[in-house]
């Protein structure tokens, strides 16, 4: 089933609210009118009951008993339905009543109060009893308080219901007219209020890979409800543009790296085939080819490792992992990088200020430390030192790598964790790196909920530190030190 548009739904809500208000007004109008008419009816009913009592008089000549001049009875409320009355006296035995009186009418007399309602032949009536009404004889002009009468008087209430319903119909008619006008006004107001949203959608629809310019309408920015949406769209588009550019740069750089490696392989093959060579020369050429293939394989492995780490961050679903000892992973990394350090004449020192357990794959952590140490060694002069340090804080572990090499230029420092980003722009085989080590380190650290930062000064060295949260199974030492700051 097709859902209503936003305009239709908002209009329906407004009209529905107005409809409920109209129904409430009709009910309130009918109730109020009925109460007012009933109050006036009760006053008139009481007046007619007293008028009936005034018709009672003493017989002439002092005869015993009482008489009533019922010919002078007040006119009924409804000519087609006569009123009902009864007059009785217990002091002087006397009873007079209308022709349509029935003693059954008094069965519903309330124990308290003077008024009650009953039905006669399907017609609703309202009755009243006045007790101990003194007799005033007009001929002798006296008020006899010793002799009293009880007066029952009832009249149909159909006219009250009719008049109350007429008031309700008038209120309903007026409410219906207002409802129609309100609906039209609400539809217009909602459409006009949503114009900035349509403009926002139209501007967003123009976004493409060739056009990232997003200019939200002024009306949308000035609307409190739409301003956060416009800002969110701008933020998302900015991130998408950055991600698209990074992806494009990654593909270009990856293609360049692969092309370079393939070109090197091809040139080696061509060199071997240019002229006849001795077995020794072919063997040397094949060894060079094997080295080039190993380098190409390493590049592909690093790219796959980076893709897996970034996918793990995007999925946000931690794997089922064992608890890894940080100190052990650091020692393994130092052992793996030892030959490279010796080749370049660099000493690697490791120190641990307390241990630490984290829930992670030990091979992943070892790869992070190897990448950081490799990067530090490649930028350190011979006979220098690279320091790997593990410190324990209250709720996490800090692992830092410090070198005193060439440092990183300030303009390059914010981008060192990007893929294929290298301070040395050359891509020769002698540089040794692909520009993926720090990117892989960052992706793995973030996959385990940690952070990685760097601080560097040219010609004074670089410090990169990683903060990783402890596993829940690990309890911090009482001697934990504050979180280390970059020196």
Q: Kindly report the CATH class assigned to 323-469.
A: alpha beta
| Interatomic CA distance for residues 484 and 389, integer angstroms | 11
- What is the fold of 206-317? Helix Hairpins (1.10.287)
pLDDT at residue 138, rounded to an integer: 56
Q: pLDDT over 90 for what percent of the chain?
A: 16
Q: Name the more confident of 452 and 284.
A: 452
Query: What rounded mean pLDDT belongs to the chain?
Result: 80
Query: Is pLDDT above 90 for 233?
Result: no
pLDDT at residue 40, rounded to an integer: 92
Q: What is the pLDDT of residues 317-346, one digit of tens each?
A: 555 667 888 899 999 999 988 888 998 899
Query: Is pLDDT above 80 for 376?
Result: yes
pLDDT at residue 462, rounded to an integer: 93
| pLDDT-wise least confident of 18-22, 141-145, 313-317, 480-484 | 480-484
pLDDT band at 431 (very low <50, low <70, confident <90, very high): very low
Query: Is pLDDT above 60 for 486?
Result: no
Give yes or no for a contact between 64 and 92, defined as CB atoms under 8 angstroms apart.
yes
Q: What is the mean pLDDT of residues 364-373?
A: 89
By C-alpha distance, which of 446, 445, 486 is closest to 326? 445
Q: pTM for the complete prediction?
A: 0.49
pLDDT band at 466 (very low <50, low <70, confident <90, very high): very high
């Amino acid at each position: 089933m097709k859902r209503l548009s936003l305009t239709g739904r908002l209009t329906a809500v407004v009209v529905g609210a107005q409809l409920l208000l109209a129904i409430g007004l009709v009910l309130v109008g009918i109730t109020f009118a009925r109460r007012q008419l009933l109050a006036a009816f009760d006053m008139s009913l009481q007046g007619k009951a007293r008028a009936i009592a005034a018709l009672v008089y003493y017989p002439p000549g002092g005869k015993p008993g009482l008489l009533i001049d019922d010919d002078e009875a007040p006119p009924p409320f409804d000519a087609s339905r006569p009123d009902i009355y009864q007059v009785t006296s217990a002091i002087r035995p006397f009873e007079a009543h209308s022709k349509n009186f029935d003693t059954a009418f008094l069965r519903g007399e309330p124990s308290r109060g003077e008024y009650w309602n009953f039905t006669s032949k399907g017609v609703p009536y309202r009755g009243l009893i006045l007790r101990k009404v003194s007799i005033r004889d007009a001929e002798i002009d006296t008020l006899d308080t010793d002799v009293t009468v009880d007066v029952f008087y009832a009249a149909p209430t159909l006219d009250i219901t009719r008049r109350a319903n007429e008031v309700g119909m008038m209120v309903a008619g007026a409410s219906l007219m207002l409802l129609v006008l309100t609906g039209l006004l609400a539809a217009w107001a909602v459409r006009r209020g949503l114009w900035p949203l349509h403009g926002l959608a139209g501007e967003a629809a123009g976004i493409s890979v060739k056009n990232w310019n997003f200019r939200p309408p002024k009306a949308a920015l000035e609307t409190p409800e739409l301003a956060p949406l416009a800002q969110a769209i701008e933020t998302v588009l900015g991130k998408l543009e950055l991600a698209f550019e990074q992806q494009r740069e990654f593909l270009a750089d990856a293609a360049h790296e692969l092309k370079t490696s393939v070109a090197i392989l091809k040139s080696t093959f061509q060199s071997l085939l240019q002229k006849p060579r001795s077995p020794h020369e072919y063997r040397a050429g094949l060894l060079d080819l094997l080295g080039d293939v190993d380098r190409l394989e390493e590049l592909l492995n690093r790219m796959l490792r980076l893709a897996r780490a970034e996918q793990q961050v995007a999925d946000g679903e931690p794997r089922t992992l064992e608890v890894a000892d940080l100190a052990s992973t650091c020692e393994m990394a130092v052992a793996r990088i030892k030959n490279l350090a010796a080749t370049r004449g660099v000493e690697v020192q490791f120190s641990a200020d307390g241990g630490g357990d984290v829930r992670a794959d030990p091979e992943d952590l070892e790869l992070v430390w190897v990448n950081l140490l490799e990067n530090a060694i490649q930028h350190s002069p011979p006979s220098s030192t690279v320091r790997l340090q593990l410190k324990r804080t209250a709720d996490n572990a800090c692992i830092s790598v410090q070198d005193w090499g060439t440092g990183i230029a300030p303009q390059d420092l914010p981008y060192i964790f990007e893929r294929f980003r290298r301070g040395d722009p050359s891509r020769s085989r002698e540089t040794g790196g692909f520009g993926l080590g720090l990117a892989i380190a960052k992706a793995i650290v973030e996959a385990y909920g940690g952070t990685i930062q760097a601080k560097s000064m040219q010609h004074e060295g670089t410090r990169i530190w990683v903060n990783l949260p402890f596993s829940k199974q690990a309890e911090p030492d009482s001697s934990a030190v504050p979180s280390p700051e970059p020196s």
